Amino acid sequence: MKSGLFSHFNRVGAWVLLLFLVTPALIAIPVSLTPKRFLSMPKGELSLRHFEMLFTSEEWLSSFFQSAVIAVSTSLIATILGTLCAIGLWRVSSKYSELVRAFLLLPLIIPQIISAMAFYRLWIPLGLLDSYAGLILAHTILAAPMVLITVSASLATFDPKLEQASKNLGASNWTTMRRVILPSIKPGVFAGALFAFILSWDEIVVTLFISKFSVYTLPRRMWNGIRENTDPTVAAAAVVLIAITFIAFVIFVISSRRNTKKTVS
Amino acid sequence: MQALRKHIHPGWFIIAPLLILVATLYLSPILNILWLSVTDPEPGFGNYAKLGESDALVRIIWTTVRICIITTIFSVTLGYSIAYAMVHCHQKQKNYMLTLLLLSFWISILVRTFSWLMLLGRNGLVNGALQDIGLIAEPIAFMRNELGVLIGMVHYMIPYAVLPLLVSMEALDKRVMDASRNLGATGTQTFWRIYLPLTLPGLVASTLLVFILSLGFYVTPAVLGGGKVLMVAEYISVQLLVTLKWGTAAMLAALMLFGVLAMLWIMSRFMKLSTVFGGAAR
């Protein structure tokens, strides 16, 4: 289009907006380096005392550990269930399977506060409140749709003739699944597992409702810190979270780039 | 068993585990909540009648809807600008933009809320900077009011607004715009009369998606609103965890749920839902 001036301004505006999306989070970095005992911007000298605090505090370390256990378990279970389900839906592909797919995506779109209510309601009689199992189950239900989406996207580019060929050559259903289908949808499965991990690792709304004392995840502890709004250890924790997000993101970008290269060549 | 296999596609056997899990542990309690909304504390529509009696409830719902509408307008407008710029620039620049966009998706909501708390507070960085350069004498109240909630929410929602728009803009046939220009329309005319109407499905999908996500938003309003801006989600949590009144909370949840489902239905008429969610997950 010839409207060059407008496009140009718009592009500059878009860059400013994109930077606005990312940069505010970085404020946690200087705040975490303050030598003071309260939340403040450091003036002149910097100190790592809040990181030291973070990594020696039993409470924070146990929260890190609990979050890791819950997120890894969630990711594992959600990936297995979500992948199986996606393959099943892909094989059936009928009117009913599309209905089931729409139903299974609901946990992603139903407001988190309603999901939290639902789990809270059911976990009371089941005795799952404030337990690892309760959190992992709840997070799995929220995360599985993510896996369903990424694996389905991979399956959409998979050639069904390959499956047919494998069967014609005498492979069983199970062998076909393991040796033919799974290797070709690996990028989708991997992305799904990563998304499921991040979702559980960050999840706060449902966690606030169904955890209390014995299970105290990292987001839960951060939430408390944010509400109290005094202890700079929260800033240090935020920096660690940003670093972890960044690493996960880089892994994701590199692996997806490798996959696109593979399909091109 | 053999007879069963003949009638049921084997694919259903591997769909079943997740389907059963979601149906028993997710759908059933949600239905239970809908049921509670007409039975707790006593059977009937007493909870819904409260909407007509209690000014507080109406005010909370109105606050929620108002904030969601403003958030949606800002997020979608700004998102449109970003998506437009991304579609109309070189591949390399577009990749950088996409990286920033996805990165912002990945940053934890708690980290972002914490950052806003540091930036917008009375002694926060923004007020400090404005005072230092002498633009203002007194700190501006960015927080504990609707302004703070709006800043936090728009910041969170922009990426969600961009993705459906991006999908719909990329699917456009560029030759239509060329044709319009060749027939003598100006750039502005082409944009308003051709480009905008053609991206309308994406615009509707993006608007509804952001609105739906804003409706149940909990973290940002609770922290940046500082108790001064009470929205439905926070009210529900107070009802459940502090005053233990399931009935009212269930009624509000039911209203929210029906609202969301209605909007999803409208959205599905404009765009294949899977493309929206597919985009949102990537």
Q: What is the mean pLDDT of residues A48-75?
A: 92
Q: How far apart are CA A149 and CA B277, in angstroms?
A: 8
CB B120 within 8 A of CB B149: no
Least confident of A24-33, A145-154, B27-36: A24-33
- Residue A87 in this model has a pLDDT that exceeds 70: yes
Q: Given an 8 Å threshold on Cβ–Cβ distance, is B85 in contact with A14? A: yes
Nearest residue, CB atoms, B260 vs list A20, A110, A191 = A110
Q: Given an 8 Å threshold on Cβ–Cβ distance, is A109 in contact with B215? A: no
pLDDT at A265: 43
CB A222 within 8 A of CB A64: no
What is the SS3 assignment for B218?
coil
Residue A196: partners with Cβ closer than 8 Å, 6 or more residues away = A74, A75, A78, A79, A82, A140, A143, A144, A146, A147
- Show which of residues 223-252 on chain A sit within 8 Å of chain B, judged by CB atoms: 223, 226-227, 229, 234-235, 238, 241-242, 245-246, 248-249
Q: Where are the domains of chain A?
A: 66-217
- Residue B6 in this model has a pLDDT that exceeds 70: no
Q: Given an 8 Å threshold on Cβ–Cβ distance, is B118 in contact with A28? A: yes
Residue B41: partners with Cβ closer than 8 Å, 6 or more residues away = B247
pLDDT band at A255 (very low <50, low <70, confident <90, very high): confident
Q: What is the mean pLDDT of residues A153-180?
A: 86
Nearest CA in chain A to B75: A17
From first CA to last CA, the distance across chain B in angstroms is 40
Q: What is the pLDDT of residues A113-148, one digit of tens each?
A: 999 999 999 999 999 999 999 999 999 999 999 999
Partners of B278 on chain A (C-beta within 8 Å) are 149, 152-153
Q: Given an 8 Å threshold on Cβ–Cβ distance, is B281 in contact with A141? A: no
Q: What is the pLDDT of residues B103-130, one digit of tens each?
A: 888 888 999 999 998 888 877 888 888 8
Residue B134: partners with Cβ closer than 8 Å, 6 or more residues away = none
Q: How far apart are CA B174 and CA B29, in angstroms?
A: 48
Nearest CA in chain B to A237: B111
Q: What is the pLDDT of residues B146-203, one digit of tens each?
A: 999 999 999 999 999 998 899 889 888 888 888 888 888 888 888 888 888 888 888 9
pLDDT at B275: 58
pLDDT at A122: 95
pLDDT band at B30 (very low <50, low <70, confident <90, very high): very high
Nearest residue, CB atoms, A18 vs list B9, B100, B116 = B100
Residue B247: partners with Cβ closer than 8 Å, 6 or more residues away = B36, B37, B40, B41, B46, B47
Partners of A91 on chain B (C-beta within 8 Å) are 9-11
pLDDT band at A160 (very low <50, low <70, confident <90, very high): confident
Q: Given an 8 Å threshold on Cβ–Cβ distance, is B84 in contact with A14? A: yes
Q: How far apart are CA B83 and CA B95, in angstroms?
A: 12
pLDDT above 70 as % of chain A: 97
What is the SS3 assignment for B115?
helix
- Residue B270 in this model has a pLDDT that exceeds 80: no
Calculate the average pLDDT of chain A: 88
pLDDT band at B280 (very low <50, low <70, confident <90, very high): very low
pLDDT at A133: 95
Q: What is the mean pLDDT of residues A32-42?
A: 82
Q: Given an 8 Å threshold on Cβ–Cβ distance, is A84 in contact with B190? A: no
pLDDT band at B258 (very low <50, low <70, confident <90, very high): very high
CB distance from A208 to chain B under 8 Å?
yes
Tell me the shortest Cα–Cα distance from B211 to chain A, in angstroms.
11
- Residue B251 in this model has a pLDDT that exceeds 50: yes
Nearest residue, CB atoms, B219 vs list A121, A205, A253 = A205
Query: Regarding the domain delimited by A66-217, which CATH topology (the fold level of the hierarchy) does it fall under?
Result: MetI-like fold (1.10.3720)
Instruction: Tell me the HSE value of B260 on the side-chain side, using a 13 A CA sphere.
Output: 23
Q: Given an 8 Å threshold on Cβ–Cβ distance, is B260 in contact with A144? A: no
Q: How far is CA A242 from the centre of its chain?
A: 13
pLDDT at B5: 61
What is the SS3 assignment for B137?
coil
Nearest residue, CB atoms, B107 vs list A94, A106, A242 = A242
Residue carrying the six token digits 């997806």: A256
Mutate to test the interface with A, among B5, B18, B65, B101 (most CBs of A within 10 A): B18
pLDDT at B282: 34
What is the SS3 assignment for B122?
coil
Q: Given an 8 Å threshold on Cβ–Cβ distance, is B181 in contact with A150? A: no
CB distance from A36 to chain B under 8 Å?
no
Two structure tokens written together for B175 = 């030759």
Partners of B186 on chain A (C-beta within 8 Å) are 3
This model of the complex carries an ipTM of 0.88
Q: What is the pLDDT of residues A69-83, one digit of tens each?
A: 999 999 999 999 999
Q: How many beta-carbon pairs under 8 angstroms link A with B?
A: 262
**What share of residues in chain B are helix, strand, coil (percent, to 5)?**
80, 0, 20
pLDDT at B281: 38
Residue carrying the six token digits 């044709």: B179
Q: What is the pLDDT of residues B60-98, one digit of tens each?
A: 999 999 999 999 999 999 999 999 999 988 888 898 999
In one-letter notation, the amino acid at residue B27 is L
pLDDT above 70 as % of chain B: 94
CB A240 within 8 A of CB B255: no
Higher pLDDT, B280 or A8: A8
Closest by Cα among B16, B273, B58 to A85:
B16
Tell me the shortest Cα–Cα distance from B21 to chain A, in angstroms.
8
pLDDT at A2: 45
Q: What is the mean pLDDT of residues A17-22?
A: 91
Mutate to test the interface with A, among B108, B109, B183, B215 (most CBs of A within 10 A): B108
